Chains A and B, each alone.
Chain A
């Protein structure tokens, strides 16, 4: 089993709600989590907007799927990369994003941060290390 595990990376580059990409990507990530691969998720370019906290879609008649990102830890997706340059260009900081955590069962459910802030060069290294890339 171990030698068959592949590194899957889902790259999110679109804002939520304006198009269906963000929600579709989230669904694919959750389905893919069932295959017990080594899954990571990246948010870069307009994709960083998906994680902005305080979303309220009651005025636009669409499902607010931002609470679902907090379930990624339950699905054992614990590596969430956010690109620093994308945040800065948009005037955002990590404080504007949801605080995503996962619980480590082996350490009595200790909460650990899922989000890893990386610059473009570091992200390039992370991407180079993956087996399969999915783009949304």
Chain B
């Protein structure tokens, strides 16, 4: 088991850096995870991260990227519901990278 330090707290992760327990998530660990990838979290990032956490809370799964794109478009507007916008925010892949910062398990169907 690996771990990440944020603000004096230790968070257990799997070998790919996803949180072992999504209940241990907070904004500090999200920011530290993003920092490891040289990514600074802006309001636009948080919009997606918060959306993912709400989606997981309701459905108990992370959405596939196609589902995420469509749902973001519906919730946050068409200008944001496209893969270009999401890939600019999360260049390592919106589903994978944003799910990681949101403390969710790796999305089903991602390799």
Contact = CB atoms under 8 A, between A and B. Distances in A.
B88 to A, nearest CB: 22
Interface stretch (B3-11, B13-21, B32-40, B56-64): B56-64
* Chain A interface bracket (under 10, 10 to 19, 20 to 34, 35 or more): 10 to 19
A92 B64 CA distance: 33
A74 B60 contact: no
Interface in A87-136: 103, 105, 109
Interface in B53-80: 58-61, 63-64, 66-67, 70-71, 74
Contact of A75 (B58, B60, B67, B74): B67
Interface of B: 58-61, 63-64, 66-67, 70-71, 74, 108-109
Query: Lowest 5 CB-CB distances: which A-B pairs, in order?
Result: A71-B59, A31-B109, A74-B67, A67-B60, A30-B108
A75 B66 CA distance: 8
Given A63-B60, A67-B60, A74 B70 contact: yes
Given A31-B108, A74-B63, 19 more contacts: A27-B108, A30-B61, A30-B108, A30-B109, A31-B109, A33-B64, A34-B64, A34-B109, A67-B59, A68-B59, A68-B60, A68-B61, A70-B58, A70-B59, A71-B59, A71-B63, A71-B67, A74-B59, A105-B74
A21 interface: no
Interface string A1-44: 00000000000000000000000000100110110000000000
A105 B66 CA distance: 14
A30 B60 CA distance: 13
A68 B60 CA distance: 6
Given A27-B108, A30-B108, A31-B109, A65 B60 contact: yes
